[in-house]
Amino acid sequence: MNVLIVDKCKFARSITRAKFSEVFKGLDVVFENAENSKSAISSLDNTQTIGCSRINLLIIDLSIMLDDKFTLINYMVGVKDYFKPVIIIGLADNCLFEFVSNNALELNLNLADIIKTPLKHADIYNIVTNKKCKLSSNKPSDNIGFIFGATCIKEDFNKKNLCLYYQPKVDIKTKKVVGFEVLSRIKTNNNTIYPDEFIPLLEKEKQSYKLTKFVFKKALNHWESIPSLKDYNLSINISADDLRREGFVEEIINHYGKHRDIDMTFELTEYAPIENEFLTFESINKIIASGIRFSLDDFGKSYSNLKRLDSIPFDEIKIDKAFVFDIDVNRQHQAIVEAIIELGSKLNIKVTAEGVETHLVLDMLYKMNCQYVQGYYYSRPLSASELLPWIENYNKKFQ
């Protein structure tokens, strides 16, 4: 975890660092310094990558904010950096603290807390362990607890705190459940960490292939242990990076060799241009030859999708939920979804729309000749123990 301390006084920075180090003891934390808003912005600017910044926590001295006329905060708002937790420290009366706090919250920043100096161990501990109530919105990712979660991901991952959830996919015409997509969560004592938080970190550390292998084996075991589940396709998310890992493809093919009667799909997601395309396409073709299908996930989100459609024999296109959930009120999204369904039909590739939340949207997709749907309208992702009761209940209700 990288922590940026913004304070003009070198001595104060070292005190802050020492106090936070006590609380982060045993964790892999790197502290960085900035003496004013400008140098803090340049640190943040250098570290922004898609969906993930190298700096995980900002600690800002109150006087910097006031002296620099909220330059740093304005920058964060400008680049829509609403998720990075911010802790403000300083010496001021309650009125000033309230003013700053209200401003930060109005700007939608993820303000974890404001702590008065001199810093007390207990105050810092309360924030980072999330014992103090959150001041931000109620989205799980806005929660300062994720600082700990992020840092402990590798540990949790090794402890097998990773839980698999399953979201059903339904044939729009027959209303039959045709399969389930596996979605991962990390469960800590009293917290759930969602993939949007831990996958960018795993990808940054080039560790996502470990997640894929773990999910793949665990889900296949689950399918194997309950014979009735074999009636359903099992879809697992994969990133193009995993496919370039030495030995990865061979391990997947070998393992799948023991479970050939399970209908399996890999959903390929990738926003960035694929590095070493030849190697990636070769890996995909080997996996397809072993009997596993490939689906092009999040279609429409990335400009490079179309090129991939031309090079890889995909079995399915999944339209991203961002285009689907509001087609009843958004004409542009309606046109995009319609065009993707038509493209799938012309290329003879199945089309699944994800993010179906209402009957109205489902009805429109039906009229557009979309084949498969997935979304909260049918079910949220289900834990392993909820799966069979849900199927039974669904079959009673919809069939």
Q: In the complex, which residues of this chain contact ligand C2E (CB under 6 A)?
A: 167, 182-184, 194-196, 199, 208, 211-212, 215, 237-239, 267, 269, 297-298, 321, 325, 354-357, 375-376, 381
Alpha carbon separation from 174 to 48, 247, 366, 390, 393 (Å, rounded): 46, 40, 11, 18, 17
Return the range that interacts with Ca ion (CB under 5 A); candidates 5-13, 66-74, 215-223, 294-302. 294-302
Q: If 0-12 CB within 10 Å is exposed, 13-18 middle and 19+ buried, where does residue 386 land?
A: middle
Helix ranges (DSSP H) in the chain: 10-23, 37-47, 62-67, 71-78, 94-106, 121-128, 145-158, 195-204, 208-225, 240-243, 248-256, 277-289, 305-311, 321-324, 331-347, 359-367, 384-398
Least CB distance from residue 317 to ligand C2E, whole Å?
A: 13
Least CB distance from residue 298 to Ca ion, whole Å?
A: 4
What track of x and - describes contact with Ca ion for positions 315 through 354 (by CB under 5 A)? -----x----------------------------------
Residues 6+ apart with CB under 8 A from 150: 1, 56, 193, 197, 198, 201
Among 100, 297, 340, 378, binds Ca ion (CB under 5 A): 297
Least CB distance from residue 27 to Ca ion, whole Å?
A: 31
Least CB distance from residue 354 to ligand C2E, whole Å?
A: 6
Q: Residue written as tokens 């459609």?
A: 309
Return the range that interacts with Ca ion (CB under 5 A); candidates 56-64, 86-94, 189-197, 233-241. 233-241
Is residue 241 at the binding interface for Ca ion, with CB under 5 A as the rule?
A: no
Comparison of 37 and 302: residue with beta carbon closer to ligand C2E? 302
- What count of other Cβ atoms lies within 10 Å of the Cβ of residue 10? 9
Least CB distance from residue 93 to Ca ion, whole Å?
A: 47
Pairing of strands 192-193, 177-187: antiparallel
Is residue 242 at the binding interface for Ca ion, with CB under 5 A as the rule?
A: no
In the complex, the residues that contact Ca ion under the rule CB under 5 A are: 237, 267, 297-298, 320
